[in-house]
Amino acid sequence: MANMDPIPVRVFSLNCWGIRYLSKYCSQRYHMIGDMLCKEKHDIVLLQEVWSEKDYLFLKKKLSCTHPYTHYFKSGVIGSGLAIFSKYRIHDTLLYRYSLNGYPYMAHHGDWFGGKAVGMAVLSLGNLTANVYVTHLHAEYNREKDSYLAHRVVQALELQQFIRHTSAGADVVILGGDLNMHPQDLGNRLLRSYTGLRDAYTETPNFDGCEGGVTLIADNPFISKKEIFPFEKGIRIDYILFKGSSRADIRCDSLSTTKGSVADSPFPYSDHEALTAELKLDSCVSAETGNDEAFKTPESSPGNLAELVDIVTEARTEVKVGLHCAERMRYTAARTGVMGLALLFLELLIAAVPWFALGAEQPFPQTSFYLLAALCFAILLTTSLLYIFYTIEIKSLQGAEDQMRLAVGSLHEKLRGFPVTQPQSSSQRSSEGQEPPALDPEE
């Protein structure tokens, strides 16, 4: 086995909060971000919420000397907001748009219009191939009554599937972005348990930043206290995650975050804090293994199988709850549409009265008649669109639930195939000649 010199890689991630005409000091902050990136000269820059392509082009021009390779991931009505800037050549890119992304009628949240997605770029870091991912998941808005929990769980499911299925030929995986999930949230556990991605914050021996690694802090002038309630100091929802392989070992030497307002400026870069991870890549080329066993996922480790089964089962339960809510909303839309149709039919009968009763006058004033007709058509159009939307949501949730059911069954089969040390109760049953109970995939 031959060892190469370690390859240092500085990775930067920031949610730019770049909503033109709505985000405060948007133009000034982009100039600040561009100046900072030119000065710091990170190897890989992962940005989210770059909603305007003009702002992306501004950064592309400004960073042309320090980061000559770049890609902007386009999706949805206003774009995915995802962009990557790199000192290393980008050989290939791929975008996957999440099947669920909020509701179009929640326009004040705006997630649906953004087309949330995960973007992938394939880079060459020395003699190693790195798959670099940048993503932005649906926001939480209200932790006590989270209407988007099922959507975010499905997004986490699709994110881990996308990473696992596209990283088979890579030596290193790096993921950065705004996951909109706390470290121990269900979607976060699902993502990390399935992929084996390691959190830079928990892995690094050297951390310089906000207490607890929080990236949405109370001291940020762009943050409302309601956004982080009941967490007084803030919340950690932005991450840099990484993973090596049999050909490359990766570690995080240090991690830092910004701390609110920038020096010599009255405001910070964004409403989120930026992360910078100092990674080290050690190339280990083995003639025996090569890259055939590049990514042994945690599901191949018997010690984590039981925990993974529990996580997937919990996620499946949340998806079922979301499915029930979607079915109820579709029923409400259908019932309202039927009422609108009945009202329109009644109005047509009233309009036909003069035809059947010769010489009779119209019982309603024409203005009221036309306004009522317009209302009926509006109800029918709105409920029809909502019925179609909820049907699409139901299909996506059903598809995710089916995938989780298959995953639980597959994981349980692997669990039964390993001589894993069972808990005390299971050991007692085994000593009595009884098989440990199988988890029914249909539950």
The alpha carbon torsion through 307, 312, 318, 322 (nearest 10 deg) reads: 170
Asked if 114 contacts 81 with a C-beta cutoff of 8 angstroms, the reply is: yes
91 is catalytic: no
Under 8 Å between Cβ of 109 and 139: yes
Other beta carbons less than 10 A from residue 395's beta carbon: 12
Q: What angle do CA 321, 325, 331 make, to 5 degrees?
A: 145
Give the 3-state secondary structure of residue 324: helix
User: CA 352, CA 193: separation in Å to the nearest integer?
Assistant: 66
Do 255 and 214 contact (CB within 8 A), yes or no? no
Out of 42, 67, 151, 272, which one is annotated catalytic? 272
> Do 187 and 206 touch, CB atoms closer than 8 A?
no
Using alpha carbons only, give the angle 184, 189, 195 rounded to the nearest 5 degrees: 145
Percent of residues in the chain assigned helix, strand, coil, to nearest 5: 40, 20, 35
Cis preceding linkage at 6, omega within 30 = no
CA pair distance 261, 270, nearest whole angstrom: 9
Residue with tokens 């082009």: 57
Nearest CA to 300 among 414, 223, 441, 174? Answer: 414
**Closest among 77, 75, 69 to 94, alpha carbons compared:** 75
Q: How wide is the angle at C-alpha 152 spanned by C-alphas 148 and 156, nearest 5°?
A: 175
Q: Can you read off the two tokens belonging to residue 222?
A: 């762009």
Distance CA 161, CA 374 (A): 46
**What's the CA gap between 254 and 174, in Å, rounded?**
15
CA distance 98 to 179: 13
3-state SS assignment for residue 84: strand
Which residues are known to be catalytic?
Answer: 272
